[in-house]
Amino acid sequence: MIPVRLLVCLHCVAAAWMPTSAWAQQLSFTLTEEMLIGDDEDAPAEYLFTGPELVRTNSRGYIYVNDRRRADVRVFDRSGRFITTIGKRGEGAGEMSEIVSMHIDGQDRLLVADRNSQRFTIFEDLGERFETIAFPEEIWGAPHPILTVGDAFVLRYVRALDDPSGKLPYIKDTKTLHLFDAALNHIETFADLGDMFNLDVPLEKELSDNQGALNMATNGIDEIVLVPRVYRGYVYRFVLRADAWHMAELRGGPVPRQSYRMVTKDEFDNDFELGRSSILVAGPSGVYRARVFNWSLGVAVLSTGEIVNFTLQTPLRGELGHRAELFDATGQLLGYGPIRFNDSALNRNEEIMSDFEILWVDQNDRIYLRRPNERGFYVLSVAELVIQPE
């Protein structure tokens, strides 16, 4: 096994930003990379990526990777050696055409959701056996992500309901988390989007049910954490108590007073730098563009029960601000600060620093992140999380 380390280091903030807990302290975190998959452009094709999109790991430490624009899943062992490919492009049994989410359950089964075929495929024994199950009719769009909670799956999506008046093809329910048993039978629905987005604002209403609108993590037992990708400084924690899910709003570290501002189509189309830090959202009510000042890059529930939220701040002037926030197992903010690699050459590379994203955190708290390398193509980086006082 190759050891990997992630360290995160967070900065103090300007007085113009939102205040935070008086108990929070400055912490030091640094990303120390110990393994890269896809960094050797002369390696066989199975080791190279267009862009790792989805990552999961099984009980043996095998790494499952879905690459952007591919309809299969590659499997590597814990040292990065290629093992096999599961599935292929197509419409037949065991084939996929647009993978939107995947997950490894407690039995090491690979569950893949295919948007185009509107079905799940469950693979066992590294793809030797499989079964397919159709999406329930209530799913609008696609489930993303899929995670394990106890003996069940939790899926995030917005469901479509019949319109009794017959005037609309669907009515979207505002609840977004759905529990299914191991056979993918629906159990319950909870987590209202109105608690996490201002649904009276057209941009946020259209964004709220978008596949990438919320980052999500779980402890695998009785806790689920949601963080809006356009981050306002609040993390939403759902805990199962007495057979009911209870939500708590956790206040994070200092953030800009505005998480975004609206921009015009001309600004969005003609300003390259603005476009890199903006979003475009289209829906039934129109098309909206916004300059985002604060992003969530991913969230994790660690084996200790602590929560880490990785963020990126994109100020109008000055350098990008990669930050992390650490909450204890009760949801209390412990500290925050900037994220740095231990390799100063990576920190000086603007393309790398502006385009890395957390994809997965395994049961040993290893971090799996996508980033461009020095030659401009994407690699999968593996690192371990270490947190220290600054």
Instruction: Please give the Cα distance from 205 to 348 (Å, whole number).
Output: 37
pLDDT in tens, 74-114: 999 999 999 999 999 999 999 999 999 999 999 999 999 99
| List of residues 6+ apart from 367 with CB closer than 8 A | 4, 6, 31, 300, 358, 360, 361, 382, 383, 384, 385
Instruction: Please give the Cα distance from 148 to 56 (Å, whole number).
Output: 12
pLDDT in tens, 292-328: 999 999 999 999 999 999 999 987 766 678 899 999 9
* Amino acid type, 299: V
pLDDT of residue 21: 57
Contact status, residue 227 vs residue 311, Cβ threshold 8 Å: no
Measured CA angle at 136 (ends 131, 141), to 5 deg: 105
pLDDT of residue 241: 95
Q: What is the mean pLDDT of residues 184-208?
A: 95
Instruction: Please give the Cα distance from 219 to 251 (Å, whole number).
Output: 20
Is the previous residue joined to 372 through a cis bond, with omega within 30 degrees of 0? no
Q: What is the mean pLDDT of residues 162-181?
A: 82
Predicted confidence band of residue 50 (pLDDT cuts 50, 70, 90): very high
